[in-house]
């Protein structure tokens, strides 16, 4: 069921403390942690504590939590003193989503190309 922790979800296990992560921020609705395979000097994932398969499902069910993720992305950028940064939500395998728990990538600390690859 949407919103409920999933036994086979990596990010649900991080939220539950069952899998270690380098957590840098936590709120009532979100957790932010460093990506284990960073694609930029700063690469942080901001996730909702509730399980939703992707950003579209989260925004439809819990628009305030979706907004909380964007607010936390800003806080991460400020905390890491980024002059500029990119926030990316991948939705679906064709967009590169590999963990099916909604999450935002906060990337910064290097120049970014457009269009993204």
Catalytic residue among 51, 85, 101, 103: 103
Instruction: Determine contact, residues 39/29, Cβ cutoff 8 Å.
Output: no
Say how far apart CA 32 and CA 100 lie, in whole Å. 16
- Give yes or no: 85 in active site: no
Alpha carbon 12 to its chain centroid, in Å, reads 12
Instruction: Determine contact, residues 88/116, Cβ cutoff 8 Å.
Output: yes
- Active site amino acids: 103
């Amino acid at each position: 069921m949407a919103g409920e922790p999933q036994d086979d979800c990596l990010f649900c296990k991080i939220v539950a403390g069952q899998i270690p992560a380098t957590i840098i921020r936590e709120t009532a609705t979100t957790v932010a942690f460093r990506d284990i395979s960073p694609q930029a000097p700063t690469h942080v994932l901001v996730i909702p504590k509730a399980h939703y398969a992707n950003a579209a499902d989260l925004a439809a069910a819990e628009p305030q939590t979706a907004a909380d993720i964007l607010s936390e992305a800003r806080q991460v950028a400020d905390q890491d003193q980024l002059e500029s940064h990119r926030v990316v939500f991948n939705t679906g395998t064709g967009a590169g989503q590999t963990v099916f728990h909604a999450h935002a990538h906060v990337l910064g600390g290097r120049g970014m190309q457009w269009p993204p690859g």
